[in-house]
A and B are shown apart, each in its own frame.
Chain A
């Protein structure tokens, strides 16, 4: 399987700690990346639909105080595995780059 696109990775990551709805995902990604990554509505929902079909995410029940019209999504075990695998792949890439002093060591950064 090829590695997920950045949009997909960011969506998986934003669902890692708690279920969220579409707007919540977009806002969390924007906040966490300092607006470096902005997900457009079309990208977000086509990705969600595909991830849903691939069973990486699933619909979750909203909390009692949430707007009932919104659909919440949570990670499935398969989705979590994809996320972990991709995070580890990225981590090994970064370690390689550090080894070659392309970027400074974590301690000095």
Chain B
């Protein structure tokens, strides 16, 4: 990583401060290298790098100023006027930069926002203690036992434990689910926030047998009690247990993440044993004079002792201390910015921007080259080269700043809208909207883009001798020569356009739709969840098997009660419901095991769901062959499965299915156990894009095996009435169960599709813009290279060459460039498309269309300048020299 930073710094220095003598350069390198090497972590190395980079930009800026260059309003006006004069070019450049700049920023913005520490006094000292499992190479759960072990650390001034869940809260006769926490009283001290009313939790509340109390959040206080100032002392039923309200927290206090009520977490040291009980999050605050490294060293010593004392559960566990948000989200130890994957994503995002900038730069180069006369006159009137470069830079800056501003404003709206749609459980204090620092980064990127787009062409155009430039201008032609560079760029453009069309074809492929195989409007879908731990329960004695038994009992009771209810069918329970995107698996049929491991495309991919044994009955979806599941299948060793008709057609190519065996197997992984087909059913939407077009496999699901329990149920009559009755019934069966709002099946499917459509529309718009840009760039470059040969063509004609022969020479070079582009681009596009689910004929069509379009663009780019050149009289051609 340091090598990468070092390389980037040196590259930037070479561009921004090109005139530094070699010895000074070596000295500067030594200084920066020494500072980078002296940084003790990646994070502080990144700090050094940022500091040096900013210093480099400031120095380059001062150097430009010292050479008599300055921005003027005139440059900005000229820039804006040029944008308006060539609207086609401006719109394409603006559109691509508008998307390119936010894309370039997306990884760093997302990660930085996600890592924001809670905005409280001393928030940077908040930490989470957790176990790292060295055998599984991943974080492991912490239990109350661990908390008690870590409770008395020298480097941590305050610590606590918390378990979050959603509880049914009854206030004013209505039951509503609310996210809450079982927390030690220290939660309120660690975050250092005073209650708005009453008090927070206190150590006396944690004692076994103490009265049940609750502290409510600002949201609950407002929505349930209308902000009643006398709310303290009133009773609130949480998961069927009355709790006395003792305090109200101020707005914004939703710790540990986005909770709205807090009940005491009671700890019984006698029951808190190693490796048992419900998992908790252990948090703390570092003392003012300690560091996270010191806390890590201290907790590691504690861990060594536990590993010896509790070999069975803690042998591979290495306790660690991480920053609060890192711990809350189980992120990598030093945060996401320390993850190599982040740097790869960031590099890819910047590469996209660079491709965009290079293309716009090419168009600008062609445009700038056509202004040679204007620039030559300016030079003759005394403008320095730096002055002209600054002018061209300012013009590009107008473009890129406009693009960045519109792009960032649009990104802000899109991000907030998308997140509220997705309803992600991000912490209350994390805001993914565009922040000031992101805006500054965006403006920085805009300036950098303007440098690529404006300065590089400007250097090229102003590079020649003044005398020659003026002569060229007088002769009405450009002095710019592209040389081999143009061929390289033309080839790269064609390859890029091929890839872009490929991606558009991919997006177009996912636009298919269809029915679900049942009456979606008359089915409601919902899910219910039994909380893992309830207020007042001892978390240390929590047993997952007990919870599974409770889930199973609730599920059975719910189904029985619904069966007796008029207007409802039987609930169809499954891990994924019709119309949802079911997870996929690669599989191999018995007899095909010999297929090489890298032959994955040859192996079929199927969609998978685990379903209750009455699932198909409940959906009134008949078994077409073989048999339905039965209770005996739940513990059958043979692992029976039911497949859909599409599976029979696609995977078995219509052959008899019953009794056939197959197993799941992904590339490079161990094969799963053999599965035997015992039944066949009709297709039920298993893939959001092509609901009835996915080969699918159903496994029997044991009651209680999953929590939450997802179900679909047929209903008669109005949606509202059915929804209300369903909720009431759930409350009667188990008052602690949390049920999501039931939604008609057709609506869930629509929301899913809508989102997907928006995403693919956005991607298509971007790629289409890139495509138009590369086509324009291709046109500009090719016509420019042909136009440069005007004189050569004139002389050939003067020497008696035939028109046809001359046209052939021009065409030969163009065809060679196009062909080379295709040779590189076609395999690239084909490789990319083969990794998607697009069928081979579609890939062929997409590539074919692309070749034709680009060939037409290329031909058009050659014809006009060639004709113009052929019209030049030999005397004119010779005079130009």
Contact = CB atoms under 8 A, between A and B. Distances in A.
Interface of A: 21-23, 26, 38, 40-46, 48-49, 69-71
A46 B56 CA distance: 10
Interface in B23-43: 23-24, 26-28, 30-32, 34-35
B12 to A, nearest CB: 10
A58 to B, nearest CB: 15
A47 to B, nearest CB: 9
Mostly, the A contact residues are: helix
A40 B24 contact: no
Interface string B48-69: 0001101110111011000000
A40 B23 contact: no
Contacts of A23: 30-31, 34
A49 B59 CA distance: 12
Contact of A22 (B31, B54, B58, B60): B31
A46 B30 contact: no
Contacts of B21: 49
B55 A42 contact: yes
Interface of B: 13, 17, 20-21, 23-24, 26-28, 30-32, 34-35, 51-52, 54-56, 58-60, 62-63
Q: Which 8 A-B pairs have the closest CB atoms?
A: A40-B55, A42-B59, A41-B28, A42-B56, A41-B31, A41-B32, A42-B55, A45-B28
B24 A49 contact: yes
Contacts of B30: 22-23, 69-70
Given A22-B27, A46-B63, A41 B52 contact: yes
Contact of A40 (B20, B34, B51): B51
Nearest to A26: B31
A49 B23 CA distance: 11
Nearest to B62: A46
Contact of A70 (B27, B35, B51): B27
Nearest to A59: B23
Given A23-B34, A41-B56, 8 more contacts: A40-B52, A42-B17, A42-B28, A42-B58, A42-B59, A43-B59, A45-B24, A49-B20
A68 to B, nearest CB: 13
Contacts of A48: 24
Nearest to A38: B51
B55 A41 contact: yes
Given A23-B30, A71-B27, A45 B55 contact: no
A40 B21 CA distance: 17
A77 B699 CA distance: 90
Tell me which of A26, A38, A40, A70 has the highest count of chain B C-beta atoms within 10 A of its own C-beta. Answer: A40
A42 B13 CA distance: 9
A59 B20 CA distance: 17
Nearest to A48: B24
Contacts of B34: 23
A22 B51 contact: no
B54 to A, nearest CB: 7
A43 B52 CA distance: 9
29 contacts: A21-B27, A22-B27, A22-B28, A23-B31, A23-B34, A26-B31, A38-B51, A40-B54, A40-B55, A40-B56, A41-B52, A42-B13, A42-B17, A42-B52, A42-B56, A42-B58, A42-B60, A43-B55, A43-B59, A44-B28, A44-B31, A45-B24, A46-B17, A49-B20, A49-B21, A69-B30, A70-B27, A70-B30, A71-B23
B20 to A, nearest CB: 7
A23 B38 CA distance: 13
A22 B32 CA distance: 11
